[in-house]
Amino acid sequence: MAALGDESVVRAAELLAAALETSLGLRLQEALSEAALELSGQLRHGHVEVRVSGGEPELVYVADEADPDPAPESDDGVFSARITLRLPENLKSRVEEAATHGGTSVNTWIVRALERAAQSRSQSHSNRNRMTGFGRS
């Protein structure tokens, strides 16, 4: 250790290594999450999850169970698009609560919410030049 420098240099190196280890661990988890999303998007059935066991992350294939609440069908009766959606954790929790409260899956809840939002937006555009109310003379 004498060749490395005095105790303050050794301590600084230890602190730097600890900080880098944490940062690298987070980056590894992000990369594995992206890989899991990409793989899941290519699978016909099931999905891939990142699980941490004993501090070690691993990719795990999870087979789909029969969906007790199938998502509503699209206008043409078939789902043909898949997207990856990143949400803040607190919003994700609120969406899960709302879906559970409504007795639906998260996917069904999100599809219905998007349909309502798209429908109300298209209606607001069609009513843009319309005035409602009453007048007095």
Q: What is the pLDDT of residues 120-131, one digit of tens each?
A: 776 655 555 555
Whether residues 42 and 23 fall in one domain: yes
Distance CA 37, CA 50 (A): 10
In a domain, 93, yes or no: yes
In a domain, 131, yes or no: no
Say if residues 71 and 107 touch (Cβ distance below 8 Å): yes
pTM for the full model?
0.40
Task: Give the end of a domain, one of 27, 43, 65.
Answer: 65
**How confident is the model over 6-19, as pLDDT tens digits?**
888 889 988 999 88
Residue 68 clears pLDDT 60, i.e. is over it: no
What is the domain count for the chain?
2
